[in-house]
Chains A and B, each alone.
Chain A
Amino acid sequence: MLNVTGLAKRHANAGRPLFSGLELTVAAGETVALVGESGVGKSTLLNCIAGLETADAGSIRIGPRAVDIVGLDETARAALRARQIGFVFQAFHILPTLTVAQNIAVPLLLRGVPLKAQPARIDALLDAVGLRGFAGRWPTTLSGGELQRVAIARALVHRPSLILADEPTGNLDPRTADEVLTRLLDNVRQQQAGALIVTHSQQVARRCHRILTLTPDGLR
C-alpha cells in the first residue's frame, strides 16, 4: 500500500538535510507506528507521503497501482489523496459547520459518489465506530473521543488503501484513547488498508504490527 524509497528532504530555511535515503513499506492490513524525538521530521515525513510537502528526492508509491506521488502536480496529488488516503489527526479537524454524517460524507463527495448511495455506507461506519444515531448531530455537541471516532469513520469511508494518522490519541484521556485506537486498528484491518501512525505513545506503538523510529541518521 505504501512504498517509500530513497526519500530525502532538507529543512526549508536551514537547508541542512532533515532526512535522506529513507526506505519504508507498509503492506495491506499492516499497521506501522512511527516514533521519534520532537523535531526529527516525523510530521514532515507524513506530509511528504500525503503530498502536502514536496520531497527533494526519492519516490513514494501509494495504492494498488503504486502511483508515485512525488512526480504529481498539486491537483493530481489532491486527487490521489481523495482516492487512496485517509487521515486521522490529533486535533480531530471536524468541520464544525457540517453535521456528523456530512463530515463523514466529505471524502465520498470528493470521489464523486452520489449522495443517494452514501447513507448505507455512512450508517455502517457509524455503527463500526460506535456512533449509531449520531448522523444528524453537530460536532459542537460531541466529546473529544466522539469527535475522533467521527474522524476515523471519515478516514475509512471511501475505502482508502492507506491511513495516515498523526498522534490520533494525543488529545484523549487513556481510557478513551484505548477505545479510539481499538476502533481505528480494527477497522483498518477489516478494510485491509495499510496504516502509518505517528505517535509518542509507547502503548499506541506497541499495538501496531511494527515500530519504526525516525532518528537524524534515518529509520530504524
Chain B
Amino acid sequence: MRCYNRSVLLIALVACSAAFAQGPTYQRGRTPTQEEIRAWDISISPSGMELPPGKGTAKEGANIYAQKCAECHGPTGAEGDFRHGRLVGGKGTLNTTRPIITLGSFWPFATTIWDYINRSMPMYRAGSLSADEVYALTAVLLYRNGIIQENDVIDAKSLPKIQMPNRNGFFPTKPVWKPGTKREFGLYP
C-alpha cells in the first residue's frame, strides 16, 4: 500500500515538473514586440553581438568630446580628480598605493566604453548621442589611452576585437559563483 502511494506520488511529481519545463504555468504577462525589445535592450556583451550599425574615428570624435564631455572630464580626459571622472592615463600605477584607475589602465573590455557612453552619457542627457557619435567618442578614449591610432575605424566588428592592456589583470580568470563555498579567514574570497 505504502509503495503504491509512493509511486503515484512519483508519477505526479514527474508529470508536474515536465509540464513546468515545457511552458508557462501562470499565463500572466504579455509577449513584447521585437521593436519594444530593441528599444529597451541597451546591454552590450564583451562579444559585441548587440552593437548597432555605425562607425567613428578618434579624429571625428575630438570635436564631440570637446562639446559634450570636456566640461566634466577635462579637455583631455586625464584631468579628473577622482577615479570616476578620470578617463585617460594611469598606466603603471596599479601596483602602487595610489592606483589610477581609468579605462586605459584598468578596464578589461572595450565594449564597456560603448555601453556606458550610450547608456548614461552625457549625464542628464543620456540617449541623446547617435550610434556614430558613441563610436567616435569610444575611439577618442581608446586613442588618448594609446590603444588605437587616430584614424582607426571603430565599429561593431572592430570594437570587440580590441585587446585592452589590463585584460589579464583580473582573478579568478573566469568569474564563477558556487553556492555555499567556504572562504578562508579574512579572504573574501
A and B assemble together: no
Q: Report B's interface with A, CB cutoff 8 A.
A: none
Q: Report A's interface with B, CB cutoff 8 A.
A: none
